[in-house]
């Protein structure tokens, strides 16, 4: 069984992959390299090094948007493999890849698996449960896309792709990962969670940043996933998370950005 690590990177950030990529007979790395500026000599040399590796599939994409980059990586996935979504700013624990492959080998019915992310300081990245369970739409908010592994054939089985309107570089600044996973659940995919630490990530993610366009994008994301139910959900989310934004936004102002995002999406797509 092969593990296919699907890495999305951009410009000079590709140089950070030397912390992730290592030769292993059970691992193939698919590198989707998004180009938005002229490549430096250092980047060109590193790309040539990657291309020469028989355990790396390198693909270049001239566009913007994280979702487009991830879709390009999906298009170059290895058939029949176990796929693991990855970024260029993370670190895997030494035995992470073996644990992932072992889990899929032991449980042949598994389709998708999510694990735990740790911060570089050793804290849980989100509020994870200490026990295994099957995901529903309600639990998918704990997922960070770099802790998601799945059988390669699930992409075609459930006709999955990242919505390119969402995420950094898209019209809506966040949400491509959450939408990808909720689309899978809606199509009937079985997504399970195991309380196993596999990867480290810096503490602050896009969805935690307090900016007007991030809140606007979250409202659009809720509309994309939940339809008209997004409006009561906006209010619920604003109430539940008030402590996180109250120093910068009033409850009314925060809701206004959420509702604007929801309305923007619904007007353009209904």
DSSP secondary structure code for residue 153 in this structure: T
Q: In terms of residues, how long is the chain?
A: 270
Final residue in a domain of this structure, among 162, 179, 206: 206
Regarding whether 160 and 119 lie in a shared domain, the answer is yes
Q: What confidence score (pLDDT) does residue 265 get?
A: 98
Regarding whether 220 and 201 lie in a shared domain, the answer is no
Kindly report, residue by residue over 220-249, the tens digit of the pLDDT: 999 999 999 999 999 999 999 999 899 999
* Integer CA distances (angstroms), 128 to 171, 175, 176, in order: 30, 20, 21
Per-residue pLDDT averaged across 66-86, rounded? 97
Regarding whether 160 and 85 lie in a shared domain, the answer is yes
Regarding whether 95 and 37 lie in a shared domain, the answer is yes
Quick one: what percent of the chain has pLDDT higher than 90?
Answer: 85
Regarding whether 224 and 146 lie in a shared domain, the answer is no
Regarding whether 63 and 185 lie in a shared domain, the answer is yes
Average pLDDT, the chain: 93
pLDDT band at 66 (very low <50, low <70, confident <90, very high): very high
SS3 sequence of 92-157: ECCCHHHHHHHHHHHCCCCCEEEEEEEECCCCECCCCCCCCEECCCCCHHHCCHHHEEEECCHHHH
Higher pLDDT, 48 or 125: 48
Final residue in a domain of this structure, among 206, 237, 255: 206
Regarding whether 244 and 121 lie in a shared domain, the answer is no
pLDDT band at 144 (very low <50, low <70, confident <90, very high): confident
pLDDT at 175 over 80: yes
Regarding whether 174 and 96 lie in a shared domain, the answer is yes
pTM: 0.93
Final residue in a domain of this structure, among 206, 237, 259: 206
Regarding whether 240 and 135 lie in a shared domain, the answer is no
Number of neighbours of residue 266 by Cβ within 10 angstroms = 17
Domain that holds residue 105: 3-206
Regarding whether 220 and 144 lie in a shared domain, the answer is no
Kindly report, residue by residue over 203-215, the tens digit of the pLDDT: 765 555 678 999 9
Regarding whether 141 and 116 lie in a shared domain, the answer is yes
Total count of domains within the chain: 2
CATH number at residue 174: 3.90.550.10
Q: What confidence score (pLDDT) does residue 235 get?
A: 97
Regarding whether 44 and 110 lie in a shared domain, the answer is yes
Per-residue pLDDT averaged across 182-205, rounded? 90
């Amino acid at each position: 069984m092969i593990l296919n690590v699907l890495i999305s990177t951009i410009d000079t950030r590709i140089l950070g992959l030397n912390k992730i990529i290592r030769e292993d007979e059970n691992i193939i790395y698919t590198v989707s390299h998004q180009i938005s500026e002229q490549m430096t000599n250092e980047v060109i040399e590193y790309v040539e090094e990657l291309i020469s590796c028989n355990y790396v599939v390198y693909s270049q994409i001239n566009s913007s948007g994280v979702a487009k980059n991830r879709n390009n990586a999906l298009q170059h996935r290895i058939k029949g493999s176990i796929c693991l979504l990855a970024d260029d700013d993370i670190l895997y624990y030494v035995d992470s890849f073996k644990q992932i492959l072992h889990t899929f080998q032991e449980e042949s019915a598994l389709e998708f698996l999510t694990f735990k992310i740790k911060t570089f300081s050793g804290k849980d990245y989100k509020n994870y449960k200490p026990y295994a369970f099957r995901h529903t739409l309600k639990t998918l908010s704990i997922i960070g896309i770099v802790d998601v592994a799945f059988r390669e054939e699930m992409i075609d089985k459930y006709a999955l792709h990242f919505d390119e309107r969402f995420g950094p570089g898209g019209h809506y600044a966040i949400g491509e990962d959450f939408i990808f996973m909720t689309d899978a659940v809606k199509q009937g995919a079985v997504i399970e969670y195991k309380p196993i630490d596999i990867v480290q990530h810096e503490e602050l993610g896009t969805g935690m940043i307090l900016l007007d366009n991030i809140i606007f994008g979250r409202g659009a994301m809720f509309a994309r996933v939940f339809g008209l139910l997004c409006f009561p959900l906006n209010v619920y989310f604003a109430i539940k998370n008030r402590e996180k934004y109250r120093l910068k936004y009033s409850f009314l102002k925060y809701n206004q950005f959420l509702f604007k995002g929801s309305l923007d999406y619904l007007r353009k797509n209904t």
